[in-house]
Amino acid sequence: MSTRKVEPKVEPHPAAAGYTAPPPHPAGTGRRPEPPAHEPPAPEPRRPVEPRPLQPGEPDWRFSTLAIHAGQEPDPATGAVTVPIYQTSTFHQAELGKHKGYEYARTQNPTRRALESNLAALEGGRYGFAFGSGMAAIGAIANLFKSGDHVIASDDMYGGTFRLFNLVLKPYGLEFSYVDSSDVAALAAAIRPATRLIYVETPSNPLMKVTDLSAVGRLGRERGILTACDNTFMTPYFQKPLALGIDLVVHSTTKYLNGHSDMVGGVVVTDSTEVAERLAFLQNAVGGVPGPFDCWLVLRGTKTLALRMERHNQNALQVARHLAAHPKLGRIHYPGLPDHPGHALMQRQATGFGGMISFDLESLERARRFLGAVRLFTLAESLGGVESLICHPATMTHASVPAAERARVGLGDGLVRLSVGIEDAEDLIADLDQALARL
Ligand SMILES: Cc1ncc(COP(=O)(O)O)c(C=O)c1O
């Protein structure tokens, strides 16, 4: 568990009670009304939170032991060794105000609580909040902020995050700057008086740029700005942003944490009680929670996370080395290759390089031919499952990033992205070779 002492500061939020709604939109002027002058802030709505419960001996457990046991004691009601799927929307109350800790399943559910505790343990945080998708989890982080607040985000990140920021939150008055977060000086230069959050993905999606998480955490603490990291590509098995000084970790649990491409979900983990109380309030108030069966599927996934990540990493290294030597290909974006600009940093802040690789085939036409020729790699959105997937970011995962912005960051129409699965690496390489032979 992180031993950081600094509790990040969150600006008071205009609470539902006492918040004066802005005047109606002046129809036809095309201008948004000025945000309300800042009245004395109403008390920030929060829900009290308990740190995840620790089992005897747990502080000494290593990763795989935590993955299999944290949050997952035998069921107190029945002794079931596997956490049951509590498929219920509500819970009996013996009398007014007297219940067993559960009232209504949007607010809390035992299967979800087990997952939240498990994922918090793996990330080394005290508090976890599960959501119905990775986007709902990122949305909950965004809900910590208000109109006029400024967010600095990586300029290369999942396209859906851009879409949420630009097309949903910007019209509400949040402001965003996108910078190459692998350049911490550029992040620092983008800070304004209203900056409240630095949000990074590392390695970035899909160009695999590496951001120095310790430096970002330090910058945030020095300037009183919350920091968040999307750790979906690495998982806590390889990288623990909280231990590096980041305040919030977010995941699409749809990916490696579940690992079997059979559900959609998200999680936010933090060590800050103040932020956790706000997130608990938002999780219940906004309501984007996962169902118990999806929570159970992720819990089943994390039990084998260490084994799967080792194999993803080994396979991806083999595939990347092979592609790097291929005469038809230029630069391979994989931080496990020694000539990758983020290789040394990755070795310092992570214990593996993961299963994601991208490379540029120089034109949409060549990319199309290649994607049509692979047999074992499945053409599909998403990543992190046991099966290998291939995608075309410009038209799939990053289609909602404006073309000019894609061009600016170097995400070309010829770029393809591999999610290297846990099949036999020789078969994966043979498949890529036969597809490359057709170019
Ligand atoms: C890095 C990353 N973060 C977040 C998300 C969003 O997660 P979800 O699809 O579970 O909403 C994705 C989805 O592809 C992703 O790749």
Query: What percent of the chain is modeled with pLDDT above 90?
Result: 90
pLDDT of 406 above 60: yes
Q: Any catalytic annotation for residue 255?
A: yes
pLDDT of residue 37: 55
Nearest residue by C-alpha to atom 2 in ligand 1: 158
Residue 19 confidence (pLDDT) above 50: no
Choosing from 46, 255, 278, 308, the catalytic residue is: 255
With cut-offs at 50, 70 and 90, classify the pLDDT of residue 44.
confident
Token pair of 343, please?
């290789």
pLDDT value at 33 more than 70: no
Ligand 1 mean position, distance from CA 394 (Å): 16
Per-residue model confidence as pLDDT tens digits over 123-139: 999 999 999 999 999 99
- Residue 142: is its pLDDT beyond 60? yes
Ligand 1: which of 229, 232, 264 to mutate, judged by most atoms within 8 Å of the beta carbon? 232
Question: For the segment 293-349, what is each residue's pLDDT rounded down to a tens digit?
Answer: 999 999 999 999 999 999 999 999 999 999 999 999 999 999 999 999 999 999 999
Rounded to the nearest angstrom, the distance between the alpha carbon of 343 and the centre of ligand 1 is 24
Whole-number mean pLDDT of the chain? 92
pLDDT one-digit tens code per residue, 391-403: 999 999 999 899 9
Q: Kindly state the average pLDDT of the residues 244-262.
A: 98
Examine the residue annotation and report whether 339 is marked as an active-site residue of this protein: no
Per-residue pLDDT tens digits for 145-172:
999 999 999 999 999 999 999 999 999 9
State the catalytic residue, choosing from 47, 106, 218, 366.
106
Strand 266-270 and strand 248-252: pairing? antiparallel
Distance 298 CA to ligand 1 centre (A): 15
Active site residue 230: yes
Q: How confident is the model at residue 34 (pLDDT cuts 50, 70, 90)?
A: low
- Is the model's pLDDT at 8 over the cut of 90? no
Residue 374: pLDDT band (50, 70, 90) is very high
Within 6 A (CB) of ligand 1 lie: 133-135, 158, 160, 201, 205, 230, 232, 252, 254, 264, 266, 382, 397
Marked catalytic residue, from 158, 178, 256, 334: 158
| Domains located in the chain, CATH noted | 58-303 (3.40.640.10), 305-436 (3.90.1150.10)
For residue 39, the model assigns a pLDDT of: 62
Which of 154, 156, 158 should be mutated for ligand 1, with most atoms under 8 A from CB? 158
Q: Which of 156, 212, 230, 294 is catalytic?
A: 230
- Is residue 6 scored above 60 in pLDDT? no
**pLDDT > 70: percent of the chain:** 90
Instruction: Determine whether 209 is an active site residue.
Output: no
| Protein residue with least CA distance to atom 9, ligand 1 | 134
Dihedrals φ, ψ of 258, to 5°? -75, -55
Q: Does residue 24 surpass a pLDDT of 50? A: no
Atom 16 of ligand 1: nearest residue by CA position: 158
